[in-house]
Homo-oligomer: A and B are copies of this chain.
Amino acid sequence: MNNSELPKYFKFDKDEIWFEEFEVEKKTMKITYKLNKILSYCTSKYQEIALIDTNAFGPCLVLDGIMQSTTKDGFIYNEMITHIPMLTHKKPKRALVIGGGDCGAVRELSKYRELDSIDMVELDEVVTRECIKFLPEISGGENFDSRVNFKFGDGVEYVKNVSQKYDVISIDSPDPESYAKDLFGEEFYRNVKKSLNDDGVMVCQSESPMLHMDIINNTREILKDNFNIVRTYVAFVPSYPGGLWSFTIASDVYDPLNLDQNRLPDTTRYITREIAKSCFNLPNFINNLK
């Protein structure tokens, strides 16, 4: 492909290639990465998909010009969105990931022997195919655990109609732009609840407390209408604008503050038994959550 046919977030400057990401919505800051190479670029039915090899963060997935997963820090997000709900539920057998096209979340779930099945409903099969090929350090490449089932399609539709129920559901969505907006809506969360067993646990990424307290508060309000227990926890994700990232977890039965950190697999790179507990200690400026 000719450079001039590539989107404008790729900048060519003499011998250098840079990828320039705008902070979503407000366009008040941008992070720019020097690239070793554009590994691949294509458009699917849903979006522009780029795999880029950055100097600072290694190979990365970019969707519609927004950084999604980097090899250097992607494990932080993927660990936090899977291990916290898995340790919160006492006996999880069936897990579902909605989104999570980079396969990092299902890879973390595969570390739990007690799971019988791990389903992943990703809208865009092309994203998964590209990540298997170009992001093996996150996706694990082609060798998937035999319990993993890919179900490509719309997660919003999936939870409307699914018959068999889950113990743990992780909602690994992109920012609430365009096609992902419904993944932050009321109807979706009601259907997620219906897709859980009575003692099920769900978690979603709820954006940056530095930049989007509105999204955190909105997500918490919807979840509180549907679940007895709702808690927000945080982790560092250096490659996301705002650095500090939030996740919101909900259940009718299990309180995440009592999670069993001793079941944490010993192959994690970010989360420790201590962090599994202390990630719920929120900074004062976000302690006044609704």
In the bound complex, CA of A239 to CA of B241 (Å): 9
Q: A191 an interface residue at 8 Å Cβ cutoff? A: no
Main secondary structure, interface of A, reads: loop
Tell which of B28, B210, B242, B278 touches A34, judged by Cβ atoms closer than 8 Å.
B28
Q: Which residues of chain A in 132-147 are interfacial with respect to chain B, using CB atoms and an 8 Å cutoff?
A: none
- The 4 A-B pairs of least Cβ separation, nearest first, read A243-B243, A28-B55, A278-B278, A238-B243
Residues in chain B near residue A39, CB distance under 8 A:
none
Interface size class of A (residues with CB under 8 A): 35 or more
A28 touches B23 (CB 8 A): no
* Residues 27-43 of A at the B interface (beta carbon under 8 Å): 27-34
Q: List residues 205-255 of chain A with CB under 8 A from any CB of chain B.
A: 208, 210-211, 234, 236-239, 241-244
Number of copies of this chain that the complex holds? 2
| Residue of A55, A76, A210 ringed by the most chain B CB atoms within 10 A | A210
Interface string of A239-273 (1 = CB under 8 A from B): 10111100000000000000000000000111110
Closest to A285 in B: B269
A236 to B268, CA, bound (A): 20
Q: How far is the CA of A76 from the CA of B209 in the complex (A)?
A: 14
Is A287 part of the binding interface, using a Cβ–Cβ cutoff of 8 Å? yes
A102 at the B interface (CB under 8 A): no
A163 contacts the other chain (CB 8 A): no
